[in-house]
Amino acid sequence: MMNKGFIVTPSDASPELAREAEARLGCPERSLAFQDLEDEALYDGVWANACLLHAPRLVLANDLARIFRALKSESWLAASFKAGKDEGRWGRSTTIFQRRN
């Protein structure tokens, strides 16, 4: 995404994993869980690869609402989920990005 000109903001609910993302990507991170996302119409996209699958069903709708509120109109959400009925919760990570002006 960075090579395509996007401003990337790695984030993770785990401060340790957020710092690792910052070190690997060389850009500022946000130690942030979806439940704490309060941005509005700021991002061109959210890449939620293998992280929303950790949200319990009871909070998933709220997490998605926060993500959609943080997205600009005509933006993208990419998310992956696991199959099956079991719920699991581990650390959550995501990448949010904006177009460069």
Query: How do residues 36-72 score in pLDDT, each as one tens digit?
Result: 999 999 999 999 988 888 788 899 999 999 999 999 9
Sheet holding 93-99, edge to edge: 30-31, 6-12, 93-99, 43-48, 71-79
- Encode pLDDT of 67-94 as tens digits: 999 999 999 999 887 766 666 654 444 5
pTM over 0.95: no
Contact 18, 31 (CB under 8 A): yes
CA distance 60 to 1: 26
Domain borders along the chain are 2-84+90-99
pLDDT recorded at residue 49: 86
Share of the chain above pLDDT 90, in %: 35
Fold (topology level) of 2-84+90-99: Rossmann fold (3.40.50)
